[in-house]
Structure 1
Amino acid sequence: MRELKILVVVVALTLITYWGVEPFAHTQMHPHVEPVNYNFAEADKITSKDTVEETKAALEEAEKSGDAKAIHPAKTEYEAAVSFEKTINDFWASNEEPMNLTGNAENGAVLVQSNCTACHSIKSQGFPQIMDDASSAAAYGVVPPDLSTAGKLYSKEYLVGFIKEPTLASKVSHKFVDGKVHPMPGYGWMQPQEIADMVAYLKSIAPKEMTNKEVFQNACQRCHSIKYGDMQKGTMTAHTPVENIKAYMGKVPPDLSQYIKSRGAQYLHEFVNDPQKHLAGTAMPRVGLTQEAEKQVVSYMEEVGDSKKAQREELGPKFLIYLVIFAIFAWLWKASKWREVH
């Protein structure tokens, strides 16, 4: 009977830790955020509205306190939130026309090649880099991406938005203020049909299939490195030199070798989809990947940083069965020995 009581106490403490303490700790380290949303117009409408409500509540609280020093900054933040809500909603509304048009890839080829290849390479179409990575980073702050795979990695919605105004589409407008200019200019002056044509061209030259590693390289390697993990998968160094990316981003982007273990897949999906949800004010842009491409990025990080996950998960149930059998035999052995003593 004593052993049964001890077992009940151990089980109770284990369950309290697993279902109570651990989830609480997780909520403190990773607060709940809005779920992943690949409809960026809808996502921005929700987050901008939430920001307005939060800043309005803060202003009302400051006004109740009567503290003039608190009221002024609270009012400024509220007014900025209201202004940005209108800006971002108008931005996505203005993208609906080129989104709904059928693009002409042939005309788009002319437009892309005449407007984009001065900075971007399109290696699959015979347009190499104009400068090496170091020179490009020195000129722009970050190495411009090759556009060969853009039509595969990004949705039409994001491509239209990014061509029109990259700071709003990628959610980094807060970074480019006081005269700071994004390395890519906005092409909002173009006609909606021209933007639709450019997107149609990028979609037409995109590869049909890409490996997880290729997606990661095209989506992440301009800023992030992979130096550790499964060496069979190989290592990779960020295209943008450290001194340039630090000046451009404000700090050196982290090596992503072990992020699958330190952050977890769900956090990475949320962060890649919209970094601002977990790290408000970060200089990291919304990458704008499609759901499929984002899944491939996280899968590659898992392949590199947690290559034994499948084996570990397969071994887990077997090990638990072993423990149960071992516990039964241990209890029987203990019972037989104590029976002799008593």
Structure 2
Amino acid sequence: MREIKILAIVVFFTGLLYWGVEPFAHTKLHPHVEAPDYTFKDVDGLNGLTGDATKGAESVASNCTACHSITAVGFPPVMDDATSAASYGVVPPDLSTAGKIYNADYLAAFIKDPATAAKTSHKFEDGASHPMPAYNWMEPQEIADIVAYLQSIAPKEMTSKEVYTDACQRCHSIKYGDFYGGSMAAKTPDENIKSYMGVIPPDLSQMIRSRSEGYLHEFINNPQKHLEGTAMPRVGLTLESEDKVIDYLTEVGDSKKEQRESLGGPFLGYLVIFAIFAWLWKAKIWRQVH
């Protein structure tokens, strides 16, 4: 009976600590933020306009291919990665998949004003400017046409690795992605990205383990919510694309997740059985003592 009372006291204070103190500490260490917004209703996007892909092709050829490659339709890179990184601070993305991985409204807003859409205006002050010029002088319909064209040339399906490569690899390495083979190194050299961002972006090989899946969704959708003043831009991915990025981070950094989680039930069962035998053994010993 005495042992049961001691157990009850331990359970009570453990519960008080876990459900009383821990949640309070958690709110201080991890303040609540709004859920990710995959509609991007806060940006100046398409505003209901429907684009014409044929006209958009002409606009893209006139305004985008001077800096961006579009290998899907035969526009090769203007410069190699090292040269373009030295020129712009970061390697400009190939636009072949932009219409697939990015939200259409975000894409339109980014074309109009990249720094505002990406929520990095604070980075471009005192005469500094975003490497991509703002095209807010364009007619809204012309921007809608560009978005329609990018959507028309985009692939219908992409693997998790392909989405990660196009969405993240310009800045981030993920060296465990090919076990140090080099193909998953950041496309922008360290010296250029450090100058552009202020710091070398972290390798993402173990990011899924150091951060939760929920945190990564919130951060990718809007980094400023968790790290105000960060130079990392709001990426503008659709929910589908963001899921694929996190799937790839999980594949690389937590490949044994399903196996590890499947052990939870058997392990708890083992503890319960062990506890029963331990209690029976203890009861037997105490019967002999008394």
- TM-score category by the smaller chain? over 0.9
Matches of 1:23 and 1:12, distance apart in 2: 16
- Following TM superposition, by how much is the alpha carbon of 1:126 offset from its aligned partner in structure 2, in angstroms? 1.2
Q: Tell me the distance in 1 between the aligned counterparts of 2:248 and 2:10.
A: 39
Aligned match of 1:51? none
Q: Is 1:284 equivalent to 2:232 in the alignment?
A: yes
The 8 Å contact of residues 105 and 204 in structure 1, kept in 2 or not, is answered as: yes
Q: CA deviation at 1:181?
A: 1.1
Structure-2 separation of matches of 1:229 and 1:17: 40
Q: Does 1:293 align with 2:241?
A: yes
SS at match of 1:236: coil
* Match in the other structure for 1:72: none
CA displacement 1:169-227 (0-9 Å, x = unmatched): 11111111111011101111111221111100000011111111111111000000112
Shift of 1:292: 1.0
Partner of 2:152: 204
In 1, Cα distance between equivalents of 2:255 and 2:13? 32
Q: Is the 8 A contact 1:273 1:289 kept in 2?
A: yes
Distance 1:261 1:112, change over 3 A: same
**TM-score by structure 1 length?**
0.80
Q: How big is the shift at 1:2?
A: 2.5
The verdict on how the C-alpha distance between 1:334 and 1:229 changes in structure 2, with shifts beyond 3 A counting, is: farther
Once the two structures are TM-superposed, the CA of residue 233 in structure 1 deviates from its matched residue by: 11
Cα distance in 2, alignment partners of residues 229 and 203 from structure 1:
28
Residues 109-164 of structure 1: CA distance to partner in whole angstroms, max 9, x if unpaired? 11112211111111111111111111010000000001011001111101110111
The CA distance in 2 between the partners of 1:238 and 1:26, in whole Å, is 34
Query: How far apart in 2 are the matches of 1:243 and 1:213?
Result: 25
Q: Does 1:120 align with 2:65?
A: no
Q: Quote the residue 1:82 is aligned against.
A: none
Retained in 2: the 8 A contact 1:123–1:146?
yes
Unpaired runs of at least 5, structure 2? none
Superposition RMSD on alpha carbons, in Å?
1.9
Q: Which has the higher helix share?
A: 1
- Percent identity between matched residues is 68
Paired residue secondary structure (2:99): helix
Tell me how far apart the structure 2 counterparts of residues 4 and 205 of structure 1 sit (CA, whole Å): 69
- Is 1:304 aligned to 2:252, yes or no? yes
Please name the residue that 2:121 is paired with: 173
Alignment partners' CA distance in 2, 1:32 and 1:110: 45
Partner amino acid for 1:195? I
Work out the CA distance in 1 between the residues paired with 2:218 and 2:159.
22
Match of 2:213 in 1: 265
Segments of structure 1 that go 5 or more residues without pairing to the other structure are 45-91
Shift of 1:299: 1.7
Which residue identity is paired with 2:143? Answer: I
**1:131 counterpart = 2:79:** yes
**CA displacement at 1:234 relative to structure 2:** 8.7
Shift of 1:102: 2.0
Name the structure 2 match of 1:25.
Answer: 25
Structure 1 CA distance for aligned equivalents of residues 181 and 242 of structure 2: 19
| Distance across 1 between alignment mates of 2:89 and 2:177 | 28
Normalization by structure 2: what TM-score? 0.94
Q: Does 1:221 align with 2:169?
A: yes
Q: CA deviation at 1:100?
A: 1.9
